[in-house]
Amino acid sequence: MNAMAPNNTMRAAKRDAYGPPEAISVTRLPVPSPNRGELLVRIHATTVNRTDCANLTARPLVMHLVLGIRTPRQARIGTDFAGEVAAVGTGVTRYRVGDRICGFRDTGLGGQAEYLTIAEDGPVMSIPAGLSDAVAAASLEGAHYAFAFLQRANVQAGQRVLINGGTGAIGSALLQFTAACDAEITVTGPADAAGILYGMGARRVIDYTRQDFTQSAERYDCVFDAVGKSTFGRCRGLLSRTGVYISSEPGPYWQNVGYALLTPLGRGKRVRFPVPYGHEHSFPFIRRHLEAGTFVPLLDERSFTLDGVVEAYRYVLTGRKRGNVILRIGEKDRC
Ligand SMILES: NC(=O)c1ccc[n+]([C@@H]2O[C@H](COP(=O)([O-])OP(=O)(O)OC[C@H]3O[C@@H](n4cnc5c(N)ncnc54)[C@H](OP(=O)(O)O)[C@@H]3O)[C@@H](O)[C@H]2O)c1
């Protein structure tokens, strides 16, 4: 190691079995040591997001294949982090002690803790100048998936796009990325968020509690369901002749996966499945938008500390958060 790592213990959230938020405990563990090519990161902020919820509950059931059949292979939880390099392993060349970095991996990094180790060539990037730890942590999960939506639909300037659910982590990032493409965007969301949605680039806002967007007479080149509440069947009529439908969920019968395989064989309306790209593709894209100011992550009014992690998961599982829910970590709260 090139610098002294703190030779003590840390607080970390973990769960030994899949289950509800109550399966989580905050416990003391040894601070990990960075191996060759690894960084030890002191974490200042992380989020509790919908990927964390899937990893906690192992729902959908396919998560058992990814995370461990009967019990999770990794007890520590948390998919993202923002913090600073506290120590480096031998052979590290890209980062130095004190560098501010953030990272995300959908299968988990152990970010809901005071420290983690990560390979310097892993899913990590330096935090753009001027960004707080909270904003850096909030810039990853939803934006990583939104990037996949945008790429799979190949959105062009002037296209007409409908986004169902502009106030989620995915929807709010997708709205801003799509606006940066100069597309003409209609978005659904709760009425009291209309101002936020216009501010992020919407041309028209539909209050989803009062109006069923699928009954609209408008036609769109892309329909993005960023909250996974619609189906291709209900949205088909909204699509232009070669329009594209993408949802954040596989559909009640996983039909979006089948449609995504079959509809490209024809010449008409298509379903695409937003299989995520690797971080080496999404991170430079996200970073460019953060630096250009064309992406400002949406933060929920509520934030939590590590002690409140169970409450934070309960809140996110309601499906009612706005954008990203921050978990502040450590004494040095930079959020
Ligand atoms: N399986 C996975 O690993 C995984 C990972 C990430 C995301 N996802 C899925 O992706 C989706 C989005 O997740 P997210 O974190 O971006 O957002 P989210 O937390 O699901 O979004 C919540 C926001 O969406 C609004 N909303 C709820 N229902 C709506 C509707 N019918 N129409 C329009 N807006 C609605 C809520 O408004 P109110 O204030 O009115 O409640 C709230 O502001 C979810 O379906 C999630 O399960 C899955």
What does the pLDDT look like over 227-238, one tens digit per residue?
999 999 999 999
Q: What is the pLDDT of residue 335?
A: 43
Q: Which fold has domain 9-139+297-328?
A: Quinone Oxidoreductase; Chain A, domain 1 (3.90.180)
Residue whose CB lies within 8 A of the most ligand 1 atoms, among 227, 246, 275, 302, for a mutation test: 227
Mean pLDDT of 311-320: 98
Is the predicted pLDDT of residue 1 greater than 60, yes or no?
no
pLDDT, one tens digit per residue, over 267-276 is 899 999 999 9
Burial 12-50 (b: 16+ CB within 10 A, else e): bbbbeebeebebbebeebebbebeebbbbbbbbbbbbbb
**Paired residues of 49 in beta bridges:** none
3-state secondary structure of 308: helix
Question: Residues 173-178: what's their mean pLDDT?
Answer: 98
Residue 5 scores a pLDDT above 90: no
Domain ranges in the chain with CATH number 3.40.50.720? 141-271
pLDDT at 331 over 90: no
Q: How many angstroms is it from 51 CA to the middle of ligand 1?
A: 11
Q: What is the pLDDT of residue 7?
A: 62
Q: pLDDT grade, residue 6 (50/70/90)? A: low
CATH topology classification for 141-271: Rossmann fold (3.40.50)
CA-based radius of gyration for the chain: 20
Ligand 1 centroid from CA 98, angstroms? 35
Residues of the chain with CATH 3.90.180.10: 9-139+297-328
pLDDT band at 17 (very low <50, low <70, confident <90, very high): very high
Q: Is 190 in the pocket of ligand 1 (CB under 6 A)?
A: yes
Output the 3-class SS for 77-105: CCCEEEEEEEEECCCCCCCCCCCEEEEEC
Residue-averaged pLDDT of the chain: 95
Q: Which whole number is the average pLDDT over 204-214?
A: 97
Distance CA 274, CA 226 (A): 11
Question: Is 59 near ligand 1, meaning CB less than 6 Å away?
Answer: no
Question: Can you tell me which residue has the tokens 């041309």?
Answer: 203
Angstrom distance (rounded) from CA 22 to CA 2: 39
pLDDT at 334 over 50: no
Q: Is 320 in the pocket of ligand 1 (CB under 6 A)?
A: yes
